[in-house]
Structure 1
Amino acid sequence: MQGHGYAQPVQQPPHPATLVFLRVLFVAIGFTCIGFVSWAMLLRLAIVTRKSLDWGLFVALLAADVLSIVLLGSEPGDEIHTTGGYVGLTLLLGSLVAATAYYLAADIRHFQKQRDAYRAQHPMAPAYGYPGPASPYTATTVPTMPQSPHTPPPMPHTPHTPHMPHTPPPGPPMATPPPQRPAPARIDQVRAELDELSDYLRKHDGHHEGNHEGGR
């Protein structure tokens, strides 16, 4: 019994700007040529999708364009006067509108599915500035030992430093007051008192001598 094997890798779709440019280019070609080359849109779509439906629509549109060219070419003059000419013009313009609508819808749907399938096979990298998903092979875990409910949690170890006595910083030296000198006023006062005392003694001695001589 055999397995299903590996899934075929999905090709990365073109850039959205490239797809928009191609869609605008092919649609512009179809409308510029008034529908005569509208089959080019379905040809590109059939080559891209590789679906039998798209190839069948391409063949049908090509036949409708050829038929419309034949009907318009059968007109005798430059203007349309016959029923065949009107039928050819209607077929040409109708096929152009239908081909444009189908081409845009099918092309957008095809590349949207291809983009989704590519993202499923290749997860996109995380955007700049956002953390990506954690990988079980790169994440590092630190094993922790089971603790008993009665065991206190370990305290963080801090280095023990011996206790040093606190000595206050030496203050500035005390300024010694300068020796106080006696005020000059005090000296003068003492000197005046001594003079008065000496005058008093002198007067007293003189008075005493006068009384003594008068007694004789």
Structure 2
Amino acid sequence: MLLTVLVVVSLGLLAWVATLRIAIMRRTGRDWALFWAQLVLNVACVIPLEQRFADTWMNTAGMIVLLVQMVAVVCYYLIVDTRHHHAPAPLPAAPAPVPGYGYGYPPAHPGPATTVPSPSPHPNPYAQPQPQQAVNPYAQTPPSPRIDQVRAELDELSDLLRKEEDR
């Protein structure tokens, strides 16, 4: 909004500022080309406004083109700025589903005294099929191995502290 007021108050002389902001904001080649073309046209319109061209058709044409350019830049800036700030954010690519640990704990590693039951070779024929869970595109990335190691060490430390309390 402030840039549109600046362009209008300067009668189009600072229209290049609005197109420069659009080019920086969107970073597309088309916007940069539009900025440079608009800047060259702006300078070309200012030159006939010199005193030596006063009371000539070039002076009048330069001012008319400058005012038309001002209106065009203000309209273009308002449209592009509004669309840019109200456009929905692009969705991130959904990561592959990673089996979770449940409440942030890593899976227990069976020790020599712990036995792990083997899965049944025959699945239950009467079990209801479970629906597939939808992948959450906003899910966090899987934890790094270092985080898993720290969690495991904290779990071991809490187990040691519990054993000390029981004694």
Letter matched to residue 103 of structure 1: Y
The amino acid that maps onto 2:77 is Y
**Pair 1:58 & 2:30 matched:** no
Query: Which 4+ runs in 1 deviate beyond 3 A?
Result: 74-77
Q: Which residue of 1 aligns with 2:69?
A: 95
- The match for 1:117 is 89
- TM-superposed CA distance for 1:60, in Å, is 1.0
Pick the aligned partner of 2:20 from 18, 27, 43.
43
Find the residue that maps to 1:71 and give its secondary structure.
Answer: helix
Q: How does 1:75-94 map to 2 (within 5 A)?
A: 75-77=52-54, 81-94=55-68
Gaps of 5+ in 2: 93-101, 104-167
Q: Is the 8 A contact 2:53 2:59 kept in 1?
A: no
Shift of 1:112: 2.2
Is the contact between residue 29 and residue 37 of structure 1 (CA under 8 Å) also seen in structure 2?
yes
Q: Which residue of 2 aligns with 1:29?
A: 6
Structure with greater Cα Rg: 1
- Following TM superposition, by how much is the alpha carbon of 1:106 offset from its aligned partner in structure 2, in angstroms? 1.1
The 8 Å contact of residues 75 and 85 in structure 1, kept in 2 or not, is answered as no
What letter is aligned with 1:32?
Answer: V
Counterpart residue type for residue 90 of structure 1? I
Point out which structure has higher relative CO (alpha carbons under 8 A, 6+ apart): 2
Q: Distance in 2 between matches of 1:44 and 1:64?
A: 17
3-state DSSP class of the match of 2:75?
Answer: helix
TM-score for both structures, normalised by structure 1: 0.40
Cα contact 1:34–1:93 (8 A) shared by 2: yes
State how far apart, in whole Å, the 2-side matches of 1:76 and 1:55 are: 31
Over 3 Å counting, the alpha-carbon distance change for 1:109 and 1:85 in structure 2 is same
Checking the alignment, whether the CA contact within 8 Å between 1:75 and 1:82 is kept in structure 2 is: no
- Aligned to 2:22, the other structure's residue is in SS state helix
What amino acid sits opposite 2:89 in the alignment? Answer: A
Q: Give unmatched runs, 5+ long, in structure 1.
A: 1-23, 122-136, 139-216
Q: Give RMSD over aligned pairs.
A: 1.9
Alpha-carbon separation, structure 1, partners of 2:25 and 2:83: 12
**Identical-residue share of aligned pairs (%):** 31
